């Protein structure tokens, strides 16, 4: 898995090499600060990471400082009864629909039955794209036309899963409406309707963030969390950015699990996030 994380964060580590081209047993505090800032770790977090560190830092000290950010429980809490309902949230362009397909593929590979709900009825393209993925992956989907009530899609998807004994429900949602207020009210209604269709649903609300946006994605995360209380995060497109340090900023600001990272375009390109392997992939390029 280390090799996978090294590959995904290769652009980030390339930018680190520009700051510190040679690996060393120890680096000075100023160099470590420059490395973290270059990788798009938020400035305030960089200052906190440096607190208490000596003027010369070794790999163990750097690791212990960085791993302290990821203090949360990332275990998947599954209910006693099926179906397990997940609502996927995020702005347009973050890779939300593709991420849903990757999740569905992953669950199917694990032996679970899956159904998709195309509840982003704000965009016809979103319905079409998710329907194409459902066809490609041979997974059922509940879809309607653009402009229809998304909460009805949520209800029908869960009802269909219950009737057919399907184990996993993944619901797409709109990333943008005419105003932030409209979006918030629609998402809240979808959560209420999901609970009416199945008490306790949605069991997990996952936010998809575009890794290429770096630390600026944090504002999106906060806005969606205020709307409906996000349970965890998936970060996409990290293979295409030098801003891999933003993962630390996101984890620090949101105090919630990062469950998966996107590692490419294929259905199988979704990897469980592992904080230790992520940090080691970065430190391997700095320290001997």
pLDDT score at 76 = 62
Residues with Cβ within 8 Å of 85's Cβ and at least 6 positions away in sequence, in order, are 158, 161, 169, 171, 194, 198, 201, 202, 203, 204
SS3 259: strand
- Distance (Å, whole) CA 120 – CA 97: 10
**Quick one: tokens of 272?**
């469980």
pLDDT score at 248 = 94
pLDDT score at 79 = 67
CATH H superfamily, domain 84-274: P-loop containing nucleotide triphosphate hydrolases (3.40.50.300)
- Distance (Å, whole) CA 63 – CA 143: 46
To the nearest 10°, report the CA torsion of 170, 176, 179, 184.
Answer: 20
Which one, of 138, 105, 136, lies nearest residue 268 by Cα?
105
Boundaries of every domain in the chain:
2-71, 84-274
> What's the predicted TM-score (pTM) here?
0.93
Question: Taking a C-beta distance cutoff of 8 angstroms, is the pair 114, 139 a contact?
Answer: yes
**Quick one: tokens of 78?**
């599954």
Residues with Cβ within 8 Å of 235's Cβ and at least 6 positions away in sequence, in order, are 209, 210, 211, 217, 247, 250, 258, 260, 261, 262, 273
Question: Taking a C-beta distance cutoff of 8 angstroms, is the pair 162, 198 a contact?
Answer: yes
18, exposed or middle or buried, with CB in 10 Å at 0-12, 13-18, 19+?
exposed
Query: Does the bond joining 269 to the residue before it have cis omega, within 30 degrees of 0?
Result: no
Mean pLDDT (10-residue bins), the chain, 288 residues: 80 90 95 94 95 96 96 68 94 93 97 97 94 98 95 98 97 86 95 97 96 84 94 92 90 93 92 94 92
109-136 exposure pattern, b = at least 16 Cβ within 10 A, e = fewer: eeeebbbbbbbbbbbeebbebbeebbee
- Distance (Å, whole) CA 98 – CA 120: 13
75-124 pLDDT per residue, tens: 666 667 789 999 999 998 899 999 999 999 999 999 999 999 999 999 88
């Amino acid at each position: 898995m280390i090799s996978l994380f090294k590959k995904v964060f290769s652009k980030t580590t390339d930018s680190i090499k520009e700051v510190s081209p040679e690996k060393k047993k120890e680096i000075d505090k100023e160099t470590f600060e420059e490395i973290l800032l270059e990788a798009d770790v938020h400035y305030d977090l960089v200052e906190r990471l440096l607190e208490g560190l000596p003027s010369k830092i070794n790999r163990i000290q750097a690791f212990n400082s960085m791993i302290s950010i990821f203090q949360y429980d990332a275990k998947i809490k599954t209910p006693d009864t099926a179906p397990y309902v997940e609502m996927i949230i995020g702005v347009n362009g973050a890779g939300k629909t593709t991420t849903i397909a990757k999740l569905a593929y992953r669950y199917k590979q694990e032996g679970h039955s899956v159904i998709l709900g195309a509840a982003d009825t704000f965009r016809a393209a979103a319905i079409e794209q998710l329907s194409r993925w459902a066809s490609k992956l041979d997974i059922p989907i509940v879809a309607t036309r653009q402009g229809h009530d998304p909460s009805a899609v949520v209800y029908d998807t869960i009802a269909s899963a219950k009737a057919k004994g399907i184990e996993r429900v993944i619901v797409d949602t709109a990333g943008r409406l005419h105003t932030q207020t409209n979006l918030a009210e629609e998402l809240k209604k979808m959560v209420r309707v999901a609970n009416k269709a199945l008490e306790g649903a949605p069991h997990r609300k996952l936010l998809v963030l575009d890794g290429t946006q770096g630390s600026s994605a944090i504002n999106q995360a906060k806005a969606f969390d205020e709307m409906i209380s996000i349970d965890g995060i998936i970060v996409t497109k990290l293979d295409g950015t030098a801003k891999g340090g933003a993962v630390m900023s996101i984890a620090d600001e949101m105090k919630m699990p990062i469950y998966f990272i996107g590692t490419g375009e294929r259905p199988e390109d979704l990897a469980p996030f592992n904080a230790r392997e992520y940090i080691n992939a970065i430190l391997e390029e700095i320290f001997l």
